[in-house]
Amino acid sequence: GNKKIDSRGALIVLEGLDRCGKTSQCSRLVSYLEESGHVVESWRFPDRNTGVGKMISSYLANDSHLDDRAIHLLFSANRWEKRSLMESKLRSGTTLIVDRYSFSGVAFSSAKGLDVEWCKAPEVGLLAPDLVVYLDISPEKATERGGYGGERYEKLEFQKRVAQSYNTLCDATWKLIDATLPIEDIEKQLRQTAMECVQTCEKGKAFSELWL
């Protein structure tokens, strides 16, 4: 029909291996969008501040052991507990730049050998991003950058399997950026695609849900 769709903020997700540069690109992008007059917030998953987030954080630090499926469901629950806030922020016009989302959930858990469809199931009904940016780097190059904090997943062999999982999840809608380019070049590409996405959502775009 010709029902008018309200203006809203954009849900923009950055994904990639550990040490791909996501976190600093997220904050650069937030500053840029703010400076250009947009209302924007920086989010990340896992959100370690909630009760569930604290359990995840302790697991990642190797301070607790959890069954692979149990931790997968906690990561998912951590997104579900933020879902309604996410939707209300977007409806009120706030753009969210999100460091990791469901794709990390599926990529990291399926890298352990869990079935991809099983991993996707608890994510069904979460908001679908308006844009997924993948900062593309080989596991070897990412490891060479050093600075792994010693968390559970920060090992070359595991990151190789995560890279393969991301590869099977990635589709034509994802924007791939070569994460080995100079920081400023990555930033430039990211600004451009993000701005297009923000403007599309400002004009009015219906929400959709995972999985697309």
Output the smallest distance, CB 107 to ligand FDM, in A: 8
Chain contacts with ligand FDM (rule: CB under 6 A): 18, 45-46, 60, 75, 99-100, 104-105, 108, 153
Q: Which is nearer to ligand FDM, 75 or 174 (CB)?
A: 75
- In angstroms, the Cα distances linking 48 to 56, 79, 116, 189 are 7, 11, 25, 29
Q: Which is nearer to ligand FDM, 72 or 89 (CB)?
A: 72
Between 22-35 and 183-203, two packed helices, what is the crossing angle to 10 degrees? 50
Using DSSP, state whether 166 is helix, strand or coil.
helix
Output the smallest distance, CB 36 to ligand FDM, in A: 26
| Residue 42, CB-side half-sphere exposure with 13 Å CA sphere | 14
Q: Which is nearer to ligand FDM, 162 or 190 (CB)?
A: 162
Output the smallest distance, CB 56 to ligand FDM, in A: 7
Q: Which is nearer to ligand FDM, 37 or 150 (CB)?
A: 150
Amino acid at the residue 188: K
Amino acid at the residue 56: I
Output the smallest distance, CB 111 to ligand FDM, in A: 9
The rounded distance, in Å, linking the Cα atoms of 173 and 195 is 16
Burial class (CB in 10 A: 0-12, 13-18, 19+), 149: exposed
Q: Which is nearer to ligand FDM, 24 or 92 (CB)?
A: 24
Output the smallest distance, CB 77 to ligand FDM, in A: 10
Output the smallest distance, CB 93 to ligand FDM, in A: 25
The rounded distance, in Å, linking the Cα atoms of 62 and 31 is 34
Q: Which is nearer to ligand FDM, 9 or 53 (CB)?
A: 53
The rounded distance, in Å, linking the Cα atoms of 32 and 29 is 5
Q: Give the position of tokens 């990151």.
A: 159
